[in-house]
Homo-oligomer: A and B are copies of this chain.
Amino acid sequence: MATERIDGTLTIAETSELTGLSPSTLRYYERIGLIDSVERGPDGRRRYQAADLAWMAFLLRLRTTGMPIQGMLAFAELRRGGDATVRARLELLGRHQAQVRKQYEAVMRSLDAIDDKIAHYERLVEEQDGDSGRQA
């Protein structure tokens, strides 16, 4: 960290480093309302707080599990609605989870089938190796 600030805030570059999101993506997420408008320093530049980082970490988990931006946006909007929306958020997450698990099962079934294909190819390769002496 080149310029350590006395408050715990981070520049966009540092936040980018920590989250793995590019500065452009950070600005993009803010623009579309996925991240609440970030505080600015006296120079007009963004200063990310710990709370922002925590929220982004959560967003990243949603993204990792395949939630589309529209879904994350819906969650972000509920969050802005405060305590009254807790139940709705719970439902949103629950539905997402069920969906992820369902998809995961489909993926695993396909992966098993691919396994079979691999086994098939392995037999082929063995035959080729075995034949190499006998063939022309």
Contact = CB atoms under 8 A, between A and B. Distances in A.
Nearest to A87: B125
Given A87-B125, A93-B121, A125-B86, A106 B58 contact: no
Given A121-B89, A121-B93, A113 B83 contact: no
A113 B94 CA distance: 13
B106 A104 contact: no
A38 B97 CA distance: 40
A74 to B, nearest CB: 15
A90 B118 contact: yes
A114 B128 contact: no
A110 B121 CA distance: 34
A101 B66 CA distance: 15
Copies in the complex: 2
A18 B4 CA distance: 61
Contacts of A61: 110, 113-114
B83 A97 contact: no
A124 B66 contact: no
Contacts of A121: 86, 89-90, 93
Interface string A17-47: 0000000000000000000000000000000
